[in-house]
């Protein structure tokens, strides 16, 4: 089994398209109610569906991995993106930064290397 895509709701598709293009995603489908992006690496896709309102307190966090986390975050900050947490080393052996998209969805930009799938505490079998 392979994860194909994640879809989130957004109240303004044009604003969401600008934001996710700024993150580096490439639009591959655009309708009056839906956007679908291709991630630059890994073959997965990400989509945005127009909604009247995003449910308050939605508890989803979307993770995007990048090899050059610090440089990416600096590029985004220079473009006006506000971060809740600038890149920091975490106890779970990842380096990550936290931010929100224009509709308030929680995003984590991170670099984990081998620890993403094979941390020292990985279960065998």
CB proximity list for 78: less than 8 A, separation 6 or greater = none
Here the tokens at position 37 are 């992006």
Task: Tell me the CATH number at 32.
Answer: 3.30.720.120
Domain range holding 72?
A: 59-115
Shared domain for 111 and 63, answered yes or no, is: yes
Look up residue 51 and give its DSSP letter: -
Q: What is the pLDDT of residue 57?
A: 80
Q: What is the pLDDT of residue 113?
A: 92
Q: What is the pLDDT of residue 121?
A: 93
Single residue among 52, 75, 94 that ends a domain in this structure: 52
Query: With helix as H, strand as E and coil as C, how does 12-28 read?
Result: CHHHHHHHHHHHCCEEE
Report how far residue 86's alpha carbon sits from residue 96's, in angstroms, rounded to the nearest whole number.
Answer: 8
Query: With helix as H, strand as E and coil as C, how does 63-117 read?
Result: EEECCCHHHHHHHHHHCCCCEEEEEEECCCCCEEEEEECCCCCEEEEEECHHHHC
Instruction: Compute how many other C-beta atoms are within 10 angstroms of the C-beta atom of residue 98.
Output: 16
Single residue among 9, 35, 52 that ends a domain in this structure: 52
Q: How far apart are the first and last CA of the chain?
A: 17
Shared domain for 78 and 97, answered yes or no, is: yes
Q: What is the pLDDT of residue 2?
A: 76
Q: What is the pLDDT of residue 43?
A: 85
Of 12, 42, 2, residue with least CA distance to 26: 42
Q: In which residue ranges of the chain is pLDDT below 50?
A: none
Shared domain for 107 and 71, answered yes or no, is: yes
Shared domain for 86 and 103, answered yes or no, is: yes
Shared domain for 28 and 63, answered yes or no, is: no
């Amino acid at each position: 089994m392979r994860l194909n895509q994640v879809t989130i709701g957004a109240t303004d598709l044009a604003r969401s398209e600008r934001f996710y293009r700024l993150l580096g995603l490439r639009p591959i489908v655009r309708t009056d109610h839906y956007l679908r992006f291709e991630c630059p690496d890994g073959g997965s896709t990400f989509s945005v569906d127009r909604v009247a309102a995003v449910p308050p307190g939605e508890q989803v966090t979307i993770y995007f991995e990048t090899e050059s986390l610090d440089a990416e975050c600096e590029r985004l900050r220079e473009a006006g993106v506000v971060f809740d947490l600038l890149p920091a080393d975490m106890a779970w052996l990842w380096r990550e930064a936290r931010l929100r998209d224009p509709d308030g969805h929680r995003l984590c930009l991170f670099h984990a290397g081998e620890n993403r799938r094979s941390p020292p505490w990985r279960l065998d079998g």
